[in-house]
Amino acid sequence: TVVDDYGHHPTEIRATLVAAREAWSGRMIVVFQPHRYTRTKALYDDFLDVFDVADYTILTDIYAASEKEIEGINSANLCDGIRCHGYDTVIHISSFEDIVDHLRAFAQPGDFIITLGAGNIWKVGEAFLERQPYGADFLEEEMKSGEPQ
């Protein structure tokens, strides 16, 4: 199952992930696109413990939304900060194409994949679904499980 959510503030993200965890018993994979350099800088500390509800998290590059880069504020550093807070199942992958390839290799039937962010992160979920590695077997397994599609 693949879901997209607009959540991009740590409080919104936490609420979404907690609700998803309560509703979904399978493995949860999060793909998060931080929104704006200024927001990432201002909320950096708040992001550090948000993703521990998920089983696995992928951070994309920051969606600039016309802002200029701020030195030292990037997803690789945010990923390192999250790891330092004890959550080691987080990685940074820059390109959407590489994220989709990673998901195709890593995701399994029964996984709940959620893309989060205010930018164009929805494209990852869409591309993943268009190139399902599982084909009909995956869809049939999902339908048998009774979980939402």
pLDDT tens, residue by residue, 79-109 = 999 999 999 999 999 999 999 999 999 999 8
Give residue 148's pLDDT band: very low, low, confident or very high (50, 70, 90): very low
The pLDDT of residue 133 is 52
Structural domain spans, the chain: 2-133
Q: pTM value?
A: 0.87
Answer yes or no: CATH 3.40.190.10 is held by domain 2-133: no
* Alpha carbon of residue 99 to chain centroid: 10
Report pLDDT digits (tens) over 57-84. Answer: 999 999 999 999 999 999 999 999 999 9
